[in-house]
């Protein structure tokens, strides 16, 4: 269960990071509310997972999932340019996250 919560928390990290960018300095209500809700749920899930998983592993997985999804979403929506190098590097992050789960 802690791993599932950690993965979902990583997904929510991507949600709040994207919402933060779209909030335009908290001047847009919708993205600002999305940011706060996703941030609280993401941090709460991370804290829950850390009750059973090591702090370093939990944090690395949480950040890796959040960063990978944030970049992937930005590339899919055209907010960030796509390049082969960038895709390979994001896949490397995902590979490292999977590796942390495998060796746990």
Say if residues 19 and 70 touch (Cβ distance below 8 Å): no
Count Cα atoms within 13 angstroms, Cβ side, for 63.
Answer: 7
Task: For residue 27, give Cα distances in angstroms to 8, 17, 21, 104.
Answer: 27, 15, 11, 42
Q: Is the pTM here over 0.95, yes or no?
A: no
Which residue from 45, 53, 67 is spatially nearest to 100, judged by alpha carbons? 53
Report the helix count and the strand count for the chain, using DSSP H and E: 4, 0
Q: How many domains does the chain fold into? A: 1
pLDDT digits (tens, 9 = 90+) for 63-91: 999 999 999 999 999 999 999 999 999 99
Residues 6 or more apart whose Cβ sits within 8 Å of residue 41: 9, 12
Which residues form the domain of 50?
A: 2-103
- pLDDT value at 95 more than 80: yes
């Amino acid at each position: 269960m802690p791993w599932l919560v950690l993965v979902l928390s990583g997904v929510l990290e991507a949600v709040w990071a994207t919402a933060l960018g779209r909030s335009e300095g908290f001047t847009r209500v919708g993205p600002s509310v999305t940011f706060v809700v996703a941030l609280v749920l993401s941090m709460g899930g991370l804290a829950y997972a850390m009750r059973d998983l090591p702090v370093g592993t939990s944090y690395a997985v949480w950040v890796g999932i959040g960063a990978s999804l944030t970049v992937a979403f930005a590339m899919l929506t055209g907010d960030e340019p796509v390049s082969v190098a960038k895709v390979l590097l994001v896949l490397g992050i995902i590979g490292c996250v999977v590796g942390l789960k495998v060796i746990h």
